[in-house]
Structure 1
Amino acid sequence: MVSFIARVEKEGRVFLPVQVREQINIRSRDLLKFCRVGEYIIVEKKYQTCIFCGQRHDLVEFRSKYLCRGCRSGLLGMVSVPVRKAHLQVAHP
């Protein structure tokens, strides 16, 4: 177990040391999930997932939502309206 002491800044920010960020591969702009369990706060890295199947890899972003290529292909097979590639961005886990 790794432990450290950090001060909460006036704005509510807490600094995570490099060693902690490296251990769980936290990079700038990553999402973190905070869970309160009794008097403890658990912090874990939140991964982008497909809104349909929950897969974390091979994602495409569409209007701030993520779809895996398999679900996207399934949806495209259901519609007859052409999808422009300009609306899709590849997401990086």
Structure 2
Amino acid sequence: MKATGVVRAVDQLGRIVLPIELRRNLNIDIKDSVEIYVDGDMVVLKKYEPACVFCGNAREIKHFEGKNICSDCITKLSK
């Protein structure tokens, strides 16, 4: 894991502001969703990217009845 040297305080509502430099580097825009993971005693933030419910692929995602399905799985299902 790469250290950034950035330290931010948690406010009284539990919020943390991500610096613009980090948001630019990680391509996180206003209103983007961020996933939160816990790894031991660390909290890890990752830009949320929807993935296929069948294979986990995050490319060429289509939405079907509230589910994310990739093009490859759509092709396999149509056979």
Same fold (TM over 0.5): yes
* Aligned: 1:36 with 2:22: no
Q: How does 1:1-93 map to 2 (within 5 A)?
A: 1-75=3-77, 77=78
Task: For 1:32, give the aligned amino acid.
Answer: V
SS at structure 1 position matched to 2:37? strand
Between Structure 1 and Structure 2, how many residues are aligned?
77
Q: TM-score, normalised by structure 2?
A: 0.72
User: Aligned with 1:34: secondary structure?
Assistant: strand
| Structure 1 stretches of 4+ moved >4 Å | none
Output the CA distance in 2 between the equivalents of 1:64 and 1:70.
Answer: 18
CA RMSD in angstroms, aligned pairs only: 2.1
Q: Highest Rg: 1 or 2?
A: 1
1:44 positional shift? 2.1
The percentage of aligned residue pairs carrying the same residue is: 26
Unaligned residue ranges in structure 2 (runs of 5+): none
Structure 1 gaps, min length 5: 79-93
Q: Deviation of residue 19 (structure 1)?
A: 0.3
Normalised to the residue count of structure 1, the TM-score between the two structures is: 0.64
